């Protein structure tokens, strides 16, 4: 549970750093690499947890591929509907993704043992509490984006809880439209975070060397 929330927090920090208000008076936006370094890069566990939550959500999407492929994507525009369905299929059955990461995350290991069912209930309860806390966020935009991503993570958990091979063949997965939207939105946000961290790696390593040896010249 901690890894999931920590990874989500790291992703949010990455997005803030990638598009930061540098000068409010001039309305100047840009990258804040110091923030990225201080909040994410200098804490190896934050980076690891970012990758962990990405693989967790990716596993949920790939495991629910059959359902997501058949889901109704109604944008109100027939052309956009077809485009959306095509993009979803391209994502779900991307050969590079399937060959590089056939089983990105084995969630079965989380539920093994006699405490497995109790652990599931605890996680579900904690996510309900987090969603309730999000209602207290003052910034309406922050509250909206925060709840959307929390809902996406809760949807990933719902998929991994309910889609369990032979154990649930008679209980088909059912997702609401807002859950599908939240899931894909979260996967997109996490993917963008991973890419930005990867792209900034040379600069982060340079800052890390300077941080460990401030007297050294670059």
| Cα–Cα dist 67/62, whole Å | 10
Taking Cα atoms as reference points, which of 30, 48, 15 lies closest to residue 149? 15
Active site residues: 139, 142
| Cα–Cα dist 104/59, whole Å | 6
- 198 exposed, middle or buried (CB, 10 Å; 0-12, 13-18, 19+)? exposed
DSSP summary character for residue 164? -
105 backbone dihedrals φ, ψ, rounded to 5°: -155, 125
Taking Cα atoms as reference points, which of 115, 110, 108 lies closest to residue 3? 110
């Amino acid at each position: 549970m901690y890894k999931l929330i920590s990874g989500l927090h790291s992703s949010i920090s990455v997005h803030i750093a990638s598009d930061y208000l540098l000068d409010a008076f001039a309305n100047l936006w840009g990258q804040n690499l110091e923030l990225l370094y201080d909040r994410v890069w200098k804490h190896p566990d934050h980076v690891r947890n970012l990758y962990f939550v990405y693989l967790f959500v990716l596993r949920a999407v790939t495991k629910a591929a059959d359902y997501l492929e058949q889901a109704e994507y109604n944008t109100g525009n027939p052309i956009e509907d077809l485009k959306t369905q095509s993009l979803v299929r391209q994502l779900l059955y991307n050969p590079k993704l399937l060959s590089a990461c056939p089983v990105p995350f084995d969630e079965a290991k989380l539920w093994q043992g006699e405490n497995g069912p109790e652990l599931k209930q605890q996680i579900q309860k904690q996510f309900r509490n987090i969603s309730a806390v999000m209602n207290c966020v003052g910034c309406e935009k922050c509250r909206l984006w925060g709840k959307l991503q929390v809902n996406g993570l809760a949807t990933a958990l719902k998929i991994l809880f309910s889609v369990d091979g032979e154990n649930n063949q008679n209980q088909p997965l059912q997702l609401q439209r807002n859950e599908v939207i939240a899931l894909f939105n979260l996967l997109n946000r996490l993917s963008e975070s991973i890419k930005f961290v990867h792209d900034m790696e040379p600069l982060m390593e340079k800052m890390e060397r300077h941080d460990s040896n401030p007297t050294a010249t670059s």
